[in-house]
Amino acid sequence: MRVTVDEDRCCGAGQCVLLAPEVFDQREDDGVVALLDGKPPESLHATVREAAEVCPTGAIRVDEEA
Amino acid sequence: MGADQTERVLDYPIPGPEVLEPPREWEELRRGCPVAHVRLPSGDPARLVTRYEDVKQVLSDPRFTRQLNAEGAARISESETGGVFNSDMAARVPDTGEEHRQWRRLVGKWFTAKRMTALRPRIEAMADQLVDGMVEHGTPADLKAHLGFPLPVWVICDMLGVPDADRDRFSHWSDALLNLTRYTPEEMERAQTEFDAYMTGHVEAKRAEPQDDLISSLITEVAEAGADLPGPALVATSMGLLVAGHETTANMIGKMVAMLLDDRSRWESLVADPSLVRTAVEESLRYDANGGVGLPRYITEETEIGGTTVPAGTTVMCSMSAANRDGSAFEDADGMDLGRSPNPHLTFGSGAHACLGQALARTELQVVLEVLLRRLPTLELAVPAAELRPVDGLIVGGLSEVPVRW
Ligand code: HEM
Ligand code: SF4
């Protein structure tokens, strides 16, 4: 699984960080998403998918194949 | 369905049969008339969207804003005061474009998930203290007055750096400014004057001696960027956070507890397995059928919504509550499933304007639920759900009281 984030779309609501702090963080200065792990381990796949689905701006992209 | 269905003009908002139940019309509208003609309480016409996809599309379209002061935009009502989505909010929180982005960046860093984790123990201590007060008062008690109403305003005080000793005064001002419980115009005016005077003094004190709070950090950062944020702008931001975060969260606490107690097997399953708290909070946010009037958007250029062409100059009301019950987006949409996951409900809006305080609102709701489950596992509604009454006013839906016993 490969995860990418679109910083321009992110509204800094922090949903992703609440769900998967191992994979997502927020920049200290403005709350915009920062990707910590673009290739998360298997055990986190379900939470990462959930984060992508509930992100209010659709800023998280999950590529299952890669 | 067909043509005459589209021509029918519904009065909006549509009342539910009971305060915790959705109006029967939602399903009909989603199926047959997804961009309905409605008449708002002011008498002005608008279009109502109820399908998940359509509501999400309109809310996330950056061209359309909640600013209803455009010429020709519909007014929701003649006299509505307070509330997050009306002119009050629009006047205090920059609404569009670069100014909005900057404001969000400055204030947004106070609402990150990390901040919430750090804030959590303090919120828990506040909730415990409020539950102590409710227990001292004795059963039955109004959970809204004892817990739902005071908690969110205490939390906002904490962020703004307002000392504990001033919390009760602050809480009173918020109540009167938003007219949450009935106040006379004179009382509201006095609250406004006192609030302005207090906050102006507070801002000056922070300017003289910055501390670790939102006001101090706004002052310091803007100063570092070589600009100056005048006192009134800071007072307005504080007021904006109260407008956006107090009534909404207070009502949601009451509704969440009422929904979970209405069918007590829900409460029992949480007592048995508190690890369900997170998903139960999300499901309460989704399931809430009494979410208020929804979000207005002023359509500035012709656009297509759900297969219907909507001309420029139209005011569209987005019903997040109806969208959250759309069976094409949620399996068993009319069932409350405390473990539902993922749960991409639209209760906090969508897109660039999605609720800035959502991480905070979630934390407050989770903490309230955890504390209640731990302290009062025998909690139950003290009146039948059919006797619960909605709050006055239409913008933010809620219950006027949540009588409980334990
Ligand atoms: C359960 C409680 C809450 C609900 C249901 C809620 C809902 C919403 C919704 C639907 C919007 C979008 C408005 C729009 O698109 O026009 C919004 C915006 C906003 N909310 Fe919340 N909210 C809640 C709690 C809070 C809290 C606790 C705060 C902060 C103290 C807050 C601060 C804001 C702000 C500042 C905005 C404006 C964001 C912007 O325009 O960029 N909200 N809220
Ligand atoms: S959930 Fe989406 S919008 Fe929110 S911080 Fe994460 S990436 Fe940004």
Asked if residue B30 is part of any domain, the answer here is yes
Asked if residue B136 is part of any domain, the answer here is yes
Asked if residue B1 is part of any domain, the answer here is no
Bridge partners (DSSP) of residue B403 are: B142
Show Cβ contacts of residue B57 under 8 Å, excluding neighbours closer than 6 positions. B305
C-alpha to C-alpha distance for B322 and B331, rounded to whole angstroms: 14
Is residue B171 a contact partner of residue B152, using CB atoms and an 8 Å limit?
A: no
Summarize the confidence of residues B73-99 as an average pLDDT: 57
| Domain CATH number, residue B82 | 1.10.630.10
Domains identified in chain A, total number: 1
Looking at residue B37, its amino acid is: H
Looking at residue B181, its amino acid is: T
| Domain CATH number, residue A13 | 3.30.70.20
Q: Ligand 2 within 6 A of A11 CB?
A: yes
Bridge partners (DSSP) of residue B97 are: none
Segment among B94-103, B191-200, B288-297 with least mean pLDDT? B94-103
Length of chain A: 66
Looking at residue B329, its amino acid is: A
**What pLDDT is stored for residue B229 in this prediction?**
76
Look at strands B45-49 and B141-142 and give their pairing. Answer: unpaired
- Domain assignment of residue B33, given as a range: 9-405
- The dihedral built from the CA positions of residue B152, B155, B159 and B165, taken in this order, carries a sign that is positive
- Domain assignment of residue A38, given as a range: 2-63
The torsion of the CA quartet B235, B240, B243, B249, rounded to 10 degrees, works out to -120
Quote the pTM value.
0.91
The torsion of the CA quartet B385, B391, B393, B395, rounded to 10 degrees, works out to -70
ipTM for the predicted complex comes to 0.76
Asked if residue B386 is part of any domain, the answer here is yes
Residue ranges in B109-149 assigned as alpha helix (H):
113-137, 143
Question: Is A11 in Cβ contact with B353 (below 8 Å)?
Answer: yes
* pLDDT of B2 over the 60 cut: no
Best mean pLDDT range from B27-31, B37-41, B339-343: B27-31
- Closest protein CA for atom 30 of ligand 1: B245
Residue found by looking up tokens 């504080």 in the block: B238
**What pLDDT is stored for residue B87 in this prediction?**
43
Q: Which of B104, B106, B348 lies closest to A56 in CB terms?
A: B348
* A49/B contact by beta carbon, under 8 A: yes
Residue B157: how many other CB atoms lie within 10 Å: 23
How far, CA to CA in Å, does B208 sit from each of B106, B177, B215, B239? Answer: 20, 28, 12, 21
Asked if residue B3 is part of any domain, the answer here is no
Domains identified in chain B, total number: 1
The shortest C-alpha distance from B112 to chain A (Å) reads 6
Identify the band that residue B311 occupies on the pLDDT scale cut at 50, 70 and 90.
very high
Residue found by looking up tokens 């931001």 in the block: B237
Summarize the confidence of residues B241-254 as an average pLDDT: 90
Q: Give the residue from A34, A46, A29 showing the smallest Cα distance to A10.
A: A34
Q: Which helix (H) or strand (E) holds B170?
A: helix B167-177
Q: Ligand 2 within 6 A of A14 CB?
A: yes
- Closest protein CA for atom 8 of ligand 2: A10
C-alpha to C-alpha distance for B370 and B389, rounded to whole angstroms: 26
How far, CA to CA in Å, does B170 sit from each of A4, B92, B352? Answer: 43, 18, 30
Question: Is A17 in Cβ contact with B352 (below 8 Å)?
Answer: no
Q: Which helix (H) or strand (E) holds B152?
A: helix B150-160
Ligand 1 centre from B159 Cα, in Å?
16
pLDDT digits (tens, 9 = 90+) for B107-166: 887 888 888 888 999 999 999 999 999 999 999 999 999 999 999 999 999 999 999 999
pLDDT digits (tens, 9 = 90+) for A13-34: 888 998 899 999 998 877 889 9
Nearest residue of chain A to residue B278 (CA atoms): A19
pLDDT digits (tens, 9 = 90+) for B72-85: 777 776 554 433 34
